[in-house]
Structures are given as C-alpha cells and as structure tokens.
Chain A
Amino acid sequence: MFDLIIPFLICFPFLMAVILLCCGKSKFGNIVSYFGAVVIMIASVAFFVYKGVSGGFAFGQGMYVNTEIADYVILAGEILIVLVVTFLSFKYKRAWVSLLSILPTAAIIFQEEIAAPEEIEHIYIDKLALLMIILVGVVGSLIIMYAVGYMEGYHNHHKEVQDRRNYFLALLFMFMGAMFGFVTCASLIWLVFFWECTSVCSFLLIGYTRTEEAVNNSFRALWMNLLGGAALVVGIIAFYNYVYPTLSFRTFLMVIPQMTSFLGAVSLLPVFLMAFAALTKSAQLPFSTWLLGAMVAPTPSSTLLHSATMVKAGIYILIRLAPLMAGNVVGTFIAFIGGFTFIAASLMAVSQTDAKKILAMSTISNLGLMTACAGVGTAETTWACIFLLLFHAVSKSLLFQVVGATENSLHSRDVEDFHGLLYMLPKHAMFMFIGITGMFLAPFGMLIAKWSALKGMVDGKHILLILFIVFGSAITSLYWCKWMGKLIAHPHKEKKVKDVTHAGEMISFWVHGLVMILLCVFLPVVSVYYVDSIIAGSDMFNTNGAAIPASTMYILITILMLVFIVPLVLYASGKNDHSTEKLAYMGGINTGKNNGFVDFMGEEKTLMMSNYYFEKMLSIEKLMKPAQVVALVALLIIFSMLGGYSIGGMF
C-alpha cells in the first residue's frame, strides 16, 4: 500500500493545483493549500519512515514496468507544455523561444515512437531519491504554508499587482509534483517531461506580477532552461542511437562506464549534455542570470526555486552522474565551471545590499561548490555534495522566508536597513542568524561538508579547484559576517515596527530552525546510516565503508557542538555578573545615547554606520559579463572536444 505513495505524491499536488485553479479568488484556497501542504508533508515523512522501518533503507526498488496509461498522460502533458509555451511566447512576441520547446519535444516523442519496445522500470526508489523526496516534501510544504500567509501581506503591500494568489499557490503545488516525479522517475522520457514541467512552472512563477521586468526575466529563465532541456533531449537521443539502445535512466548510469573503454568520447557526450542541462537548471555560469532575474517574483517562489526544488534538480542529476564524471574530461570541466561559479558569485555577493540579491548570489555560489564536488566525482566529494545540498536547502529556505517576512513588516529588504533588526523584530533577526550561521559557520554541517570537499579535491589533486575554494570561502565569510553584524548592531534610531508576520509563517520558521539544529546534532547518524550508503551503494562507487570515518565525525561534532553550547552557557552565567555600563566612545561628544553625537554647532546628529561593499570593483554589472565569457569559453572548449571526437568516432 505504501508503494502507492509515489504516484500519490506525484499526482496529489497536481490535483491540488487543479482545485486551486478552480477556486478563483475565494479564501477557500488558503484552506485547500494548508490541507494540501500538510498531507504532502505527512505522506513524504510517512513514506520515509516506512521505508526506513521496513527495509532499513537497504535497497533500491524499481516499480511500474507497465505504464501504458501513464505514458499517454505524460505524452499529453508534454504536448500541453508545448502549447502553453508556444502560446505565451507568441503572446509576448518572443516566438523563437517556442522553438526550444517544440523541437526537443517533437524529437523526444519521435524517439519514443520509433524506439523498440522494452521492459523498463519507470519509477525507481533508492536512498538518494528518498532523500530528495523528504527534502522536497518537508521544505516544499513549509514553503507553501508560508506562502499562504505571505501572499496576504504581499497583496496588502503591493496593490498594483493583480491578486491571483490561488493561481500562484497552484503553481507551487505543480512545482512540487513535478519535483517528486523528477527525483523518482527512472525513465528518460519521463525525466524529460518532469524537467520541462519544472522549467515551465518556474517561468510562470517568475512572470507572476506581469510587469515588463517580470516578463523579460521569466522569458530569460524559460529559454535558458529550455536550452538545457534541449541538451537533455539531444543527449538522450545520442545515447540511444550511438551508445546503448535503452530509455532507462538506470541502465544509462550503468552502461556508460562500461562503454567508455571502447566507445571513447562518444559515450561521454550524453553525460556532458546531461550535465550541461544540469548547469542551466542549477544556474551555473554562464546561465546564472536567470536565477537573479527570478527575484522579481513574490518571495515564496524564490524560496522554492532556491532551496529544495528547481536548482536542486540540477544538482540531483549531477550527483547521479558523479561516478560517470570522475576523472574524465567532462568531470574536469564541470568541476571547473562549478568552482569558478563559486568564487565569481561570492565576489559579486559582496557588492550587494539587497538581501534577496545576496541570497541569490550565495545560492549560485553554493551550487557552484556542489557542482564542483559532483564534477570531481569521488566518494568523498559526492558525500560533501549531498550534505551541502541538504544543509543548503534548509538554511536557504529559512533565510528566504525570513527575509520575505521581514520585508513585509519593515518595507525594505536592504541589508543596511536591517541595522539593529534584533531590537526591532527580534524573532526575525534570530531566525536570520540561525540561517546565516547554517550557511557557513560552525557548528553547522556546511563546514564539515566543505572540509570533506577540500579533502577530496586535494586527494584528486585539483589545484585550481582548491584555489577557488579557499579564496571563495574567505569571501563567503565576508558577506555573511557583514550581514550578521548588521543584525546585532546598536540601532540608529528608536523605530517601532509593526510585525505583520502570520502564524503560518512563524510555524514554518520554527520547524526550519528545529530541523537545522537536529540535522546538525544528528549529522554523524545521518551520515553513517544514510548518506554513506548512498555513496557506497552499488549504484555509485562500490566503495566499502564511509567517506569520512564515523569516529572522526563524532569528535568533530562533539567539538562543534561546543560552539553552540558554550556561548549559551556563557550568556546565561554572565547575566548577573557585575559590570558597569558606559557610553560608546565618540571623542567625548556622544549625546548620551550611543547612536548620536553633538556637532560643532551644538546640534545633535544621528550616527549612521554602513558596511563595505566595494561596489566599484565587484558589482554584478561589472563582473557578470566577463565571468560568463570565461564559463562560456570553457563550455565551448569541452563541447568542441567531445563533439569533434564523437563525430570522428561515428564515421
């Protein structure tokens, strides 16, 4: 019975989406959304627990060999997507974009029709898929719960935007459905469908406000993602015709290493094309701009795109491909692009004052790190990649939500305006603090993942990547620290802020915060019982034992826990300590409050402190183009190398 949960998880969100679309503008949509989110969360957690209890996570399971009806549904879905894209691209006078949808879909349908009938599993559940399910299920549902409250505040605050919140929520549900399908399907045809589905959902979400900027940005996101989809299709067709005639993703992963020895570069071409598609989806350079443009949409959509879904779909594919990329030219180039994105995006993040832009740049840069890890493709770096994915999803989701809620109350999302947020919106500041520490500081798992990534890269002797990471992580700490400093700084002026955060939003914050802390405490357990066996499992590396010895990890965690506990203990114990309060030093002209001084005319002036941003050196306008060129050149080199070999090999 529990196996039915997979089709349920895929179909139920789509069903909820349809119901929501039927709701029109009624408030009924809120209840439907809460209900749907709770059901999805419970279902995914229950499935996870059931799997853990029944099989001890020890097996992969293939299902649904005979799926004729579902195949037709998928076919209809594909055609529907093409129609939607074509209609919208003609409506907004960007007809060429429709080609990127029509041609690949036609090609894949044609391929499906001419393919010899074969018995393949369409759904395959292994630990990686299960991990993604619970991630998408929990984080995604929390985002929907948050979205219900958020949209209320959003539409009160932005009167100019047409209120289509049920449509928005429907898109979020659809997105989740597509993600569930994407991570569980084992048929390449289905993979393409769910891939396009997420692309189109994100396109519609970004264009929600229908302003000119939103339309432009949504089309940028669309064509980039469709380009990736096209690469995916070409990769699949090339694989079917020149490497091995099957449409099973599992077989794909298994035969390529065996084929490489006598087919050479031809067998790497599909891997590269798939990885290329993942690069577009994960917003790696040169495709990073679409994720930045996605900021125009209401916060829940950016949260969804940045945390557990969309961009993580690319990383998921890369993790699957990691063993195929280890030590070959594809892996080297993918890792290079990832590492390069890591450092370039973190440099650009330094110059940003807009909180959402900082988060966006940091997402891109962290995805770069994950891409680099997957590209290196050893057991250690893949372990790191999975943990980075896990921690990044949770803390980024939390950060986006808190920033969105803060913006609704504070009417600004400029980090400079967060000065002294701790005194204005203490809860928001606290959750922001947790989220940021989760991104880069001890005791959270990001740090251990980074540690493991570095170790793996040194072992693989990837000097360039090492340099990217050591310089990149220094810059990463700079922009996060700047932000944290702002939160706790003494406020410029007494300012009363009305907290308009909904209960649903608050619940989501608490759950996120709790999950972060639990993940951190139980990191060794998660690693030993779960992630290690993803790595060591027969599908991936066939290594025995852990990427990082459990003993090392326990010691590290114990020590890192101190980072958590000691300040708390010191805070509690030092509270009643005798200490005299003094005014801050301002050359003796302090007004008596620490945020003002008396000028030479005897007038009181407010003291404003601001951070360094290096806007002249590091602005996005200045760095993005050159960075894109570098990444593009890298892509062209690898493409011409593989293309040249493949064409040479075919004839």
Chain B
Amino acid sequence: MYKITRSPWVMHYDGSSCNGCDIEVLACLTPVYDAERFGIINTGDPMQADILLVTGGINTQNAPVVKQLYDQMADPKVVVAVGVCACTGGVFKDCYNILGGADQVIPVDVYVPGCAARPQAIIDGIVKGIGVFQERLEKMEKGESLTEDKEKKAEETAESEDK
C-alpha cells in the first residue's frame, strides 16, 4: 500500500469571493508560511492537481465551471473549501445570484472557516485533505468505487443543509 504523506498539489479556484481568502492562500506560499515545506505546490492545472481549493461562494455563472474543473481532476481528489463564503456562501448567501457554498456543486471534504481564513488554517486544511486523499487512494487501489463515497458525502451535505 502506497502512503502519500506529503505531496499535495493544489489548484486554487476563486469563486465569487472578496479576494480576502485568495490573498491568504497566496500568503501560504510566502517565506513566512512556506507551504512547500509540506510539498504543497500551487499548480494552475486541474490535470495535475490533487486538491481543489475553493474560495468564495458559488454563483449561477461559475457553478458549471467549478463542476468541470472538479471533473477534470484525476482520482483520487479532495476538495477543500476555504473561508466562510466557500463553506456556506457567507455574507453573500442571500444575494440573488449566489447558490451557496462549494458543496452546492461538488462534494467538499474539508471546510476551513474564517473571514478571511488564516494561512495557518489553510495549510492545516490542506494537510487534513491529505488524510482524505490517502483514504481514497487505498479504496481506489482495492478497486472500490470512489463515486459511492462522493454520493455519501453529497447526501451528508444535503442532510446538514436540511438541519
């Protein structure tokens, strides 16, 4: 069994955010926080990414885009929602064009709250994402379907919304 402990490549997608969280995501890469210590690389390409980092809420126009980017990533893949907007829609939740958090269109694995989320928290979220990634990888190598997992996740999200 192959253990992936420290090679999460991240693709950062900016939904309709205020850019606060995006600045913090980039701050993670600066010498102060140096996310590359954990092998985190900010790649701009879904084909090579393991973790989709979403900041900002989902609106009617970017919903299919997020969906497509997520589909383009190779299995196993993990979604981390950064900032309260990506988690729930945040202060924009009731806007006419906002659907809500990232989990409206794709299954989110890790929620990193904050407005804006702190770099420490973001890095922590990504490292948590590695755990999920490892789990999925094991499942995949055993030949189990990952889609069930995602469906379950989606159900859970739906439930939590109901509450």
Interface set of A (CB-CB < 8 Å, partner B): 580, 582-583, 585, 587-590
Whether the pair B47, A588 counts as a contact (CB closer than 8 A) is: no
Distance A626 CA – B13 CA, assembled complex (angstroms): 53
Tell which of B13, B47, B66, B75 touches A585, judged by Cβ atoms closer than 8 Å. B47
Residues of B within 8 A of A582 (CB): 47, 71-72, 74
Residues of A within 8 A of B13 (CB): 588
Q: Would you call B46 an interface residue if the criterion is a C-beta within 8 Å of the partner chain's C-beta atoms?
A: yes
Distance A588 CA – B67 CA, assembled complex (angstroms): 8
Distance A587 CA – B66 CA, assembled complex (angstroms): 10
Whether the pair B69, A580 counts as a contact (CB closer than 8 A) is: no
Distance A120 CA – B21 CA, assembled complex (angstroms): 94
**Nearest B residue (CB) for A598:** B64
Residues of chain B at interface, number, CB under 8 A: 14
8 smallest beta-carbon distances between A and B, as pairs = A588-B65, A588-B69, A588-B68, A582-B72, A585-B46, A583-B72, A585-B72, A590-B68
Most chain B CB within 10 A, of A582, A585, A587, A588, is at A588
A-B contact pairs, 19 of them (CB 8 A): A580-B74, A580-B75, A582-B47, A582-B71, A582-B74, A583-B68, A583-B71, A583-B72, A585-B45, A585-B46, A585-B47, A585-B72, A588-B62, A588-B64, A588-B65, A588-B66, A589-B65, A589-B68, A590-B68
Distance A587 CA – B65 CA, assembled complex (angstroms): 8
Residues of B within 8 A of A590 (CB): 68
List 15 other contacts, CB 8 Å, given A583-B72, A589-B65. A580-B74, A582-B47, A582-B72, A583-B71, A585-B45, A585-B46, A585-B47, A585-B72, A588-B13, A588-B62, A588-B65, A588-B66, A588-B69, A589-B68, A590-B68
**Nearest B residue (CB) for A589:** B65
Distance A583 CA – B74 CA, assembled complex (angstroms): 11
User: Shortest Cβ distance from B65 into chain A, in angstroms?
Assistant: 4
User: Shortest Cβ distance from A86 into chain B, in angstroms?
Assistant: 69
**Nearest B residue (CB) for A600:** B61
Residues of B within 8 A of A587 (CB): 65
**Nearest A residue (CB) for B66:** A588
Residues of A within 8 A of B62 (CB): 588
User: Shortest Cβ distance from B105 into chain A, in angstroms?
Assistant: 11
Distance A580 CA – B73 CA, assembled complex (angstroms): 10
**Nearest B residue (CB) for A583:** B72
Distance A589 CA – B47 CA, assembled complex (angstroms): 15
User: Shortest Cβ distance from B63 into chain A, in angstroms?
Assistant: 10
Most chain A CB within 10 A, of B45, B64, B68, B69, is at B68
Distance A590 CA – B64 CA, assembled complex (angstroms): 10
Residues of B within 8 A of A585 (CB): 45-47, 72
Interface string of B69-81 (1 = CB under 8 A from A): 1011011000000
Residues of A within 8 A of B74 (CB): 580, 582
User: Shortest Cβ distance from A608 into chain B, in angstroms?
Assistant: 21
**Nearest B residue (CB) for A588:** B65
Distance A589 CA – B13 CA, assembled complex (angstroms): 13
